[in-house]
A and B are shown apart, each in its own frame.
Chain A
């Protein structure tokens, strides 16, 4: 645990409020420490992007203060803040090559051409995107675009890096890989970051600390596991949803497929990780079967329904399958299957539905 007194905060927001279009930020106060990876987690429309844009200087707050590296930057234009911004759609400049995209921040600051070239090559080498440099932006895959956007933001050696839902545009299959990549880049370059997401897996896997944000307000700040295990109120609990979150250990592997022991029971997951891990299965990704049918899902567990409750637009089932599982179904599915408390059912889910971190 880092000592509060010795670790001075790099960024602090003091009672920041802002209304913009339909979005609101209400009285947000926040401290981000040097070299910290800080995750802001909340549902769509919580104001997460607006919060990043206030920090970047794209919008100015209606009230409150923003202090960056001991300087009041509240009304400083973005070009004088030294902030790296990776927006959700990456926003690579389509009229420039990858190389010119990455070098833009240096060129615009008037660095000489050969220095720009050299630094672009160095950073691209570190981020393993050197082979992309001459490509046109329109030919890049989502993952490649993200790496280029990251390089473009990092080349100016920003005081803080802002990442807006960096994984949401990617296939679920590649997210673990990208999380590992972000960790690796961070180890290499040691930056401070604010990462906005609606996915608690990113928060737990990447974040040193996190803030839970709802309706423009920060409701809880702390270590991700602590917030997920001890949410301060029902709202946070319902969203962070520590549903089907288990500790486990990878005990066997066949190619991309890992067999994970969850303490007596085993699940299969598509992951490259090994050793002790956390496992999460989204409640809406589990299918309920009445019989142990032959279906494509890799994981089939047997359990007993313990509780049925409303969770609009779903119905939520608590099922004891050796471990406590939560499953979301539509009301139609519930009635079609004629499910009741006490009934014995099978839970089926694909290996790719099991997130490992």
Chain B
């Protein structure tokens, strides 16, 4: 009994250190924030534009991840095929490289003079310094998160549910939409939220692919560099608040 207690005492002390390291900056940011300045930041047209660019681009990236990632995740969960493990590993590479490198990769492959970029520009999608460039860069760095979340959600569903639905008269597609998707909804929704949050937080790839239109994370850097730490605080507090809300929503979903 005593030994267990002393173990927990030691671990509590060690654990507290990392808790402090993580929490102090968040608390400090709020303490140093003047709410009036946050209010002013919310009236600042440049801030509002950057926020709207960031949020809509992140939403577009998330919707793309949902639309194309969900079917992929289902196949990965339900079928075995040649080189499947290799493919799954490669899909996680964007999470393992510096985001500036991710930006270079996206730019290299899709810039308007590349062969794919040329086709894209014909339908009006130019990557450099454009909204679509932001979306593409965000998708590149955040889609792997969605795919693996949805995949593990699908893997956890007992296939027998689908089998029974089939015998009851539901075809493959009906089964997928009435049984599989509802049962995997928690993983899909939380995966989408994390994907969106990850997209919002992207800096490195956007710096390379599309510094303009300005996204909010780049605006923080710009304000910091031009006017110093205190100028960056209101936007920082705002983004921190959004991050906290996202985490609380995720927490709520996973407990539901």
Set B161, B166, B169: member contacting A93, Cβ < 8 A: B161
Task: List residues 215-234 of chain B with CB under 8 A from any CB of chain A.
Answer: none
Kindly state the separation between the CA atoms of A104 and B178 in the bound complex, as whole angstroms: 10
Kindly state the separation between the CA atoms of A153 and B160 in the bound complex, as whole angstroms: 14
Task: List residues 66-98 of chain A with CB under 8 A from any CB of chain B.
Answer: 77-79, 81-85, 87, 89, 91, 93-95
Interface centre among A57, A77, A84, A108 (most CB of B within 10 A): A108
Q: In which size bucket is the chain A interface?
A: 20 to 34
Q: Convert A50-74 into 0s and 1s, putting 1 for each residue whose CB lies closer than 8 angstroms to a CB of B.
A: 0001001110000000000000000
Q: Does A152 have its Cβ within 8 Å of any Cβ on chain B? A: yes
Q: Does A156 have its Cβ within 8 Å of any Cβ on chain B? A: yes
Q: Convert B155-180 into 0s and 1s, putting 1 for each residue whose CB lies closer than 8 angstroms to a CB of A.
A: 00010110111111111101000110
Taking CB atoms, residues of chain A closer than 8 Å to B158 are 89, 91
Kindly state the separation between the CA atoms of A77 and B162 in the bound complex, as whole angstroms: 13
- Give chain A nearest CB distance to B4 CB in angstroms: 35
Contact, CB under 8 Å: B163 / A108: no
Kindly state the separation between the CA atoms of A77 and B183 in the bound complex, as whole angstroms: 23
Q: In which size bucket is the chain B interface?
A: 10 to 19
Contact, CB under 8 Å: A91 / B167: no
- Give chain B nearest CB distance to A59 CB in angstroms: 10
Contact, CB under 8 Å: A91 / B161: yes
Contact, CB under 8 Å: A108 / B168: yes
A104-B168 contact, Cβ under 8 Å, with A93-B179, A95-B183: yes
Taking CB atoms, residues of chain B closer than 8 Å to A84 are 167
Set B164, B169, B174, B182: member contacting A87, Cβ < 8 A: B164
- Give chain B nearest CB distance to A102 CB in angstroms: 10
Q: Does A248 have its Cβ within 8 Å of any Cβ on chain B? A: no
Beyond A77-B166, A95-B183, 13 extra complex contacts between A and B, CB < 8 Å: A56-B167, A58-B167, A77-B171, A79-B168, A83-B167, A85-B163, A85-B164, A87-B160, A87-B164, A91-B160, A108-B169, A108-B178, A156-B169
Residues on B lying within 8 angstroms of A by beta carbon are 158, 160-161, 163-172, 174, 178-179, 182-183
Instruction: Across the A-B interface, give the 7 residue pairs with the lowest CB-CB distance, nearest first.
Output: A105-B168, A78-B166, A91-B160, A85-B167, A108-B170, A95-B182, A78-B167
